[in-house]
Structure 1
Amino acid sequence: MATYDNIRIPGMAIFEFELKSVEDILPWGEPGAHSLSWFALTDGQFRMIVGDQVLFRYSDEILSQWGSSEREAEYQVAAFLRSILSCVAAAVAPLPPRIERLASNWQLLMELEKPLDDVQAVDDLWLDAWQWLGERSPSTSYLVECPKVQFVRIGPELRIHWDNRERSIDGLPVWTAQQGVCVMSVEAFLEECRDLMRRLLSAMHERIAGIEVGAMKPQVEVSTSSLHEQHETWRAEFASYFGEYQPEVPWHETENALLAIAQKKGLRV
């Protein structure tokens, strides 16, 4: 069984991860051309602590079916960070008043999001209506039945919504966290995201230093100078996610599309 290096801070951090020990990370590529990149060396486990629930934690039922004891989602932790941080600018940006009122009624919003019977209407309206919510939804499609999570600002609050009731395999729930909401200040959410970035970068800096001095021994030879260069590239990418936000679909087009869908469904928004 693989071993993991704990990467945590005191207190109640929302985002937690453990990196797999360098010695346990399998090289990438074909025999004779194996390699380990900075990204590959972030292999590990990730979870989100949201109130009394834990996102990205597998259910007992699915673990029993899989014959696995690894409760947390496993993948490259850098991919989890990219998924989370790419939502930050959108998540903390104020919503237009009408859309904020709709988003504050999550049950109504989810009812509105259910697919229409009119396929053509979906083709015409869906992207305009829901692109804004997609920009606030971490994409973790590299996971089987990936969790459905959204970060949405309502006034001074940041709400983390999740609904995994339809995430199942053979009728078994994939995730322990089925449905809920966790609320915090926008500033606290921003700091959590910045801290997540700092912790991974710090852990990877130590990892590269450990490889350089021989304290950590990957299964194939790696270029630490290349790892340092990759480290700076990833640092720049992560930092870029904290910039200004511009919606991909203009807000007036989003509002018009939402109103059209609501009218088709007989809902008042």
Structure 2
Amino acid sequence: MALFEFELVPVEKVAPWGEPGNPTLSWFALTDGAFWMPVGRDTLFRYTPEINAHWGVQSSFADYNVAAFARDMLSAARAALEPLPALVERLAADWESLAALDRSLSDDHHAESYEALRWLGERSPWTSYLVASPRISFVRIGDQIRVHWDTEDRQIDGIPVWTATRGTFALSVEAFVDECRSFRDRLLHRMAARIDEVEAGRAKPQADIDVASLRQQHATWEREFSDYTDGTHHPDVAWEEAESALRKLIPNFAPRAPTGDGAW
């Protein structure tokens, strides 16, 4: 099973965009579907039965345009592949303490808070188009990528939204890169086939579509996704400033040998 899984809505069921009387369907719109991430015994982006009952729906997984999920996951993954400075890596390796710090600073807009965890933000997929979006990050520790999640506070009317509440899943850097490229290739392959189906009349969208424009959009998205998976990451982080901010926020944040019990 892949790390990034998705299922597209049939073309005929994709609701058009645009004003009444002038419906449109773009490449992005045609990626409407469901997305989820199997991580060991848990599955990220799976709704709880309780929230489904509360909403009166039967949606097993997060539903939105899969291209948005791909953009968020792959852009965060590109940042995650960059090795962290030793001091920051030591902090990141203690996930419980890092998660607690992240939660404590989530509503704090001071400059130190922003600088201290901007590197983590780069490694955290932005999924705010989802209600009560889960808090997820990809962090490199040595030769591993660790997928972290913390959704315990993601509730609607006191009801937990996501089945996977808190945890860590690790895989090798090489395996993580393979998973990212697989996600890219599977989505692009499925969308290329979808365009062919529309052109051949085997799929009947709810709006007229310019197939030539769809192919141009496909090429644009292909370049973007390939840049995420094969390009070079240019971090928007000044590590000296990040470490300085962390020292102000964590009194014992200092370069010393690990104790073996997760302490900094």
**Matched residue, 1:83:** 72
- The alignment's C-alpha RMSD in Å is 1.7
The corresponding residue for 2:244 is 256
Matched with 2:154 is 167
Secondary structure of 2:223's counterpart equals helix
- Whether contact under 8 Å (2:99, 2:150) holds in the other structure is no
Q: Which structure 2 residues correspond to residues 104-183 of structure 1 after superposition, within 5 A?
A: 104-115=93-104, 122-183=109-170
| Residue of structure 1 in register with 2:219 after alignment | 232
- What is the TM-score normalised by the length of structure 1? 0.91
One-letter identity of the residue aligned with 1:155: G
Report the TM-score, using the length of structure 2 for normalisation.
0.93
Shift of 1:116: 5.8
How much has 1:117 moved relative to structure 2?
Answer: 11
Among 32, 35, 40, the alignment partner of 1:43 is 32
Is residue 92 from structure 1 mapped to residue 81 from structure 2 by the alignment?
yes
Task: Go from structure 1 to structure 2 and tell me whether the alpha carbon gap of 1:264 and 1:194 turns closer, same or farther (over 3 Å shift).
Answer: same
Shift, 1:124, TM fit: 2.0
What is the letter of the counterpart of residue 132 of structure 1?
A: W
1:86 alignment partner, SS class: helix
Query: Contact (CA 8 Å) 2:48, 2:161: kept in 1 or not?
Result: yes
Work out the percentage of aligned pairs sharing the same amino acid. 50
| CA deviation map 1:139-180 (0-9, x unaligned) | 000000001100000000110000100000111100001111
Equivalence for 1:7: none
Q: Which runs of 4+ in 1 moved over 4 A?
A: 116-119
Distance change >3 Å, CA 211–CA 117, structure 1 → 2: closer
The structural deviation recorded for 1:19 is 0.3
- Stretches of structure 1 that go unaligned for 5 or more consecutive residues are 1-11
Residue 73 of structure 1 pairs with residue 51 of structure 2? no
Shift of 1:46: 0.4
Question: Post-superposition shift, 1:112?
Answer: 2.6
Taking the aligned partners of 2:237 and 2:111, their CA distance within structure 1 comes to: 13
Structure 2: gaps (5+ residues): 254-262
Count of residues in correspondence between the two structures = 254
